[in-house]
Structure 1
């Protein structure tokens, strides 16, 4: 991840950061390269390999914390779809720990269309007892969480490199979940910067 984030392709957007904030867009990565990051990666194999390697490395580290801190969270799951799964690093770790799970990877761009994605998930979840599991940073509303400073750095990274993504507080997650048809949820803290948001349909 460190090598990836210091690659010239990902350093260049920071030179457009102020202009991006003042002008309200397009996003800094697109200003620097003329393409959004996903399109750029699809056309640049070297960067694609570096990006996927960095994300897979991060997934291995984070998944250790998830499998430790989310004890029994995957026990009853027979089938799992990984939305935004990249090359499948996260689900590979889950399958190692839960070899009887059937796993699918759905690669998509998660941005301001989170609610649309959740609505699609809600349509295919057949029972109220089924759940979605979101692994992401959940910021404290007053910014005083023990890892909130780091979370805000990730927020800046999202502005510089992603297309509309950002880190959110629990109340912001609540609004998205309710809009997507998952009004029942709980936030589970685990020993890493990310938290688990476990949400259930209506």
Structure 2
């Protein structure tokens, strides 16, 4: 394929062809592509460069049955590259490079943290292990917590999230709300709000935020998860930011923040009051 042909395939109205030529020169030198010159026998010119695939670049084709393209795009995404910029500081100061780049998720929380629908408490155990100053409450149905192992710093509480959630400074609810329709979600969120209102705390929701028009790294996976919810749950679905906004307002929350992280889920911080 010629350089002009390559340039015509780029999603750009006016690609910088000379810069593309310099990039292809390096890639050909590293055997990512082959390069041959379409030289006329009677011409002294070098001829037009024609680029071809090598065994290495064939692994990066999207339409190949065995393709490394998705993995390559994942690990070179800006959100995945940012922690590498903090490797030096993590060695000098301690801590992980990810925390240096994005901050710790639970280090600033104080008091009690209840995990709604926390199963046997493994997620809460990891949080409390990393941040022992947090008093953890693992909340799920009675028959679930009855089989839960003991974890230091964690209390298991059985109950029904549609009726009442234990009072806490912070409520954590991960990958639960997408199992339920809007009316059920509003009931759960109202109980979450009641649980933190006395302490003027917040609710941390970890779930998918759909972007139907997006072409980002995880957007197709999110849409696929929405169909999975449709197939497996009565009323369950993934939600757009607009749909999350409607749910949280109907549940009585004053405001919320959506925090994008390098994963197909997002973090939604919901606050029952303006303070």
Q: TM range, normalised to the smaller chain?
A: 0.5 to 0.7
**Which residue matches 2:136?**
103
Matches within 5 A, 1:116-155: 116-127=187-198, 129-155=200-226
Change (3 A) 1:138 1:70: farther
- How big is the shift at 1:87? 2.0
Gaps (5+ residues) in structure 1? 1-66
Gaps (5+ residues) in structure 2? 1-97, 141-160, 162-175
Rg (Cα) greater in structure: 2
* Residue 181 (1) aligns with residue 252 (2): yes
Change (3 A) 1:101 1:115: same
Q: Distance in 1 between matches of 2:237 and 2:268?
A: 16
2:122 is matched with which residue: 89, 100, 116? 89
- How big is the shift at 1:144? 3.1
Q: Which has the higher contact order (CA 8 A, sep 6+)?
A: 1
**Which residue matches 1:12?**
none
Q: Distance in 1 between matches of 2:212 and 2:200?
A: 29
The TM-score normalised by the length of structure 1 is 0.60
Q: Distance in 1 between matches of 2:107 and 2:202?
A: 11
Q: Distance in 2 between matches of 1:132 and 1:74?
A: 15
**Which residue matches 1:78?**
111
- How big is the shift at 1:153? 1.2
* Alignment size in residue pairs: 136
Q: Distance in 2 between matches of 1:188 and 1:101?
A: 22
1:115 is matched with which residue: 170, 174, 186? 186
The CA deviation string for residues 70-98 of structure 1, in whole angstroms up to 9 with x for no partner, is 52544223211111212222212111111
Question: RMSD value over aligned CA atoms?
Answer: 2.2
The CA deviation string for residues 31-85 of structure 1, in whole angstroms up to 9 with x for no partner, is xxxxxxxxxxxxxxxxxxxxxxxxxxxxxxxxxxxx8445254422321111121
Q: Tell me the SS of whatever aligns to 2:258.
A: strand
2:116–2:139: 8 Å Cα contact kept in structure 1? Answer: yes
2:212–2:219: 8 Å Cα contact kept in structure 1? Answer: no
Change (3 A) 1:140 1:200: same
1:174–1:183: 8 Å Cα contact kept in structure 2? Answer: no
1:139–1:169: 8 Å Cα contact kept in structure 2? Answer: yes
The TM-score normalised by the length of structure 2 is 0.45
- How big is the shift at 1:103? 1.1
2:237 is matched with which residue: 155, 166, 173? 166
The list of structure 1 runs, each at least 4 consecutive aligned residues, that deviate by more than 3 angstroms after superposition, is: 67-70, 126-129
